[in-house]
Structure 1
Amino acid sequence: MNRGRKQRISDAFGAAAARYDDHAGPQRRAAALVADLAQRQKPAGVARILEIGCGTGFLTRDIQARWPGAELVATDLSPEMLARASAGGLVAGTFLTMDGELPAFEGEWFDLILSSLAFQWFDDLAGAVERLAGLLRPGGSLIFSTMGRRSFARWRAAHAACGLAAGVPDYPDLEDLRAILAGFDDAFAFDEDYALACGGAKGLIAHLKGIGAVVPSEGRKPLSPRDLRRMMAAFEAQGGDDGYQVLFGRVTRSLNPRP
């Protein structure tokens, strides 16, 4: 695990915690769909739920409303995000600072493990999915959303048109995720596209800063002022808006595991 990068991610999201909700339109939609999928998969018989990357609590509050009797453990890499999610007494549960890629649990603990738009920050997505699925009780499900490769396609294209490399991470595509899930007996993945009205390059930069998504891929350096101006002009020449591709995955543990 790259501890230095994880700390930078935690710091960036912590700095954005107070304004995150004002910029998080796609994040709200993805969280709502994760909760819907989870309720269809396991509407009853849920005693214990783990949430990975709770942020300010979009999914957390939905979990509480749908399974009010379940024991909830909500986790995030950022203590400041956890403080926002737990503020106001709207959610009853345990709030734990934790790297979801390295869960602080062992054995078959949870009936549901849910996460929305956090897995893209993992160093090893396949390994994390395997570790988290190992925490499921028989019949339990891991359901998550994560960023897909087509996210911010126009932003990437504007960089490429100027001979530059975008700092946006290289996300997996749907087939990559399906390949990761192929080793499980009961799993599926699909994707959705969410438009993002930016109103220009400054609007997209404000969106990314507003949600704390400002830690670039390893080795990517900030653009010079001249290159930044060229790239912003190229982005606005494409229309000045962009979008998210969100990948959704579900893994369910068999009630009768193979020997």
Structure 2
Amino acid sequence: MNTPVTSLPLLRWQERVARAFSRAAPRYDALASAQRDIGETLWQTLPQSAQQVLDLGCGTGYWTQRLASHYPNATTTGLDLAPGMLAHAQAQYGDAIRWQQGDAAALPLDDASVDLVFSNLAIQWCPDIGAVMQELARVLAPGGQARITTLLPGTLSEVATAWQRPEALLQTPDASTVQRAIQQSGLRLTQHTCAQRRFFYSDMNAVMASIKGVGAQVTRPNAQLTRRELAAAQARFETLREPQGLPVSYHCFTLHLEQTP
């Protein structure tokens, strides 16, 4: 059994994540350069053809639209927990794509109804990775494939150091936990890679904007910061500065999954 990665009751956790990402929707694309860069690497691994495509954790629909263009004869669905993200996506890309609100751990889709799942940096927000993998196994058709990036412990470590708050780190399952969940689901793990990706920002304001812009502040408790606390955090972050700027690390786990034929 997989233990949820949050101590909050599940519904409260889902509500907080949905609210954070809904608030982030209008500025997400402008601030999600790291997420976009990681997604481009995943994009290069797509299979040649697909007929029923799911963008799991579609956010503002950037990848959903690209998937719909890449597979013009497919039915493409963008699914997200946050209604604000879906409203933004639908307004931007229209109704040719199916926009569906839903939880990755309880997909509102029929059994064996999808032959390609694309998911870029979304499932790390799910408290029960085992339930997510079971749902992927359920909705993937025989021979169906999934291309997924998620995050591992250690992501945003520089942010945690600057603020001296371990809770600033995403509470993600480690690689062995994810692999065990895949094995228990019956899906076949055909390829996986772990890589640390580092991105650089001009100052701490830019760092925090990039994180808040993608909803990642949800893992930190709400607090009124004093000027003294802010100055101390900035000073600690400055000790990490490199010639390229202030570093922020993403520990990425890329997964290629396949449903047995």
Asked if the contact 1:198–1:241 (Cα under 8 Å) also holds between the matched residues in 2, the reply is: yes
Q: Does 1:31 align with 2:39?
A: yes
Say yes or no: does 1:209 pair with 2:212: yes
Alpha-carbon distance, 1:207 to partner = 1.1
CA distance in 2, matches of 1:141, 1:175: 21
1:226-241 mapped onto 2 (5 Å cutoff): 226-239=228-241, 240-241=246-247
Residue matched to 2:75? 71
One-letter code aligned to 2:250: Y
Identity %: 24
User: Closer, same or farther in 2 for the Cα pair 1:189/1:180, shift >3 Å?
Assistant: farther
Normalising by structure 1, we get a TM-score of 0.85
Query: Match of 2:254?
Result: 248
How many residues align? The count is: 246
Alignment of 1:36-115 (within 5 A): 36-39=44-47, 43-44=48-49, 46-89=50-93, 92-115=96-119
Q: Tell me, in whole angstroms, the C-alpha distance in 2 between the residues paired with 1:129 and 1:31.
A: 20
Task: For 1:132 and 1:181, locate their aligned partners in 2 and report how far apart those are by CA, in whole Å.
Answer: 9
Q: Displacement of 1:90 after TM fit?
A: 6.3
**Residue 13 (structure 1) aligns with:** 21
Task: Describe the SS at the equivalent of 1:232.
Answer: helix
Cα distance in structure 2, aligned partners of 1:87 and 1:31: 22
Partner Cα separation in structure 2 for residue 165 and residue 153 of structure 1: 8
8 Å CA contact 1:158–1:235 kept in 2: the answer is yes
SS, match of residue 166 in structure 2: coil
Measured on the aligned residues, the alpha-carbon RMSD in Å equals 2.2
Cα deviation 1:117-168 (Å, max 9, x = unaligned):
11011010122112212211110012211112231122223345xxx43333
Tell me the TM-score normalized by structure 2.
0.84
Cα offset for 1:89? Answer: 4.1
- Aligned mates of 2:12, 2:183 — CA distance in 1: 32
Long gaps (5+) in structure 1: none
- SS of the counterpart of 1:17? helix
Give SS of 1:68's match.
coil
Instruction: Give 1:191's match in structure 2, choosing from 191, 194, 206.
Output: 194
Checking the alignment, whether the CA contact within 8 Å between 2:158 and 2:237 is kept in structure 1 is: yes
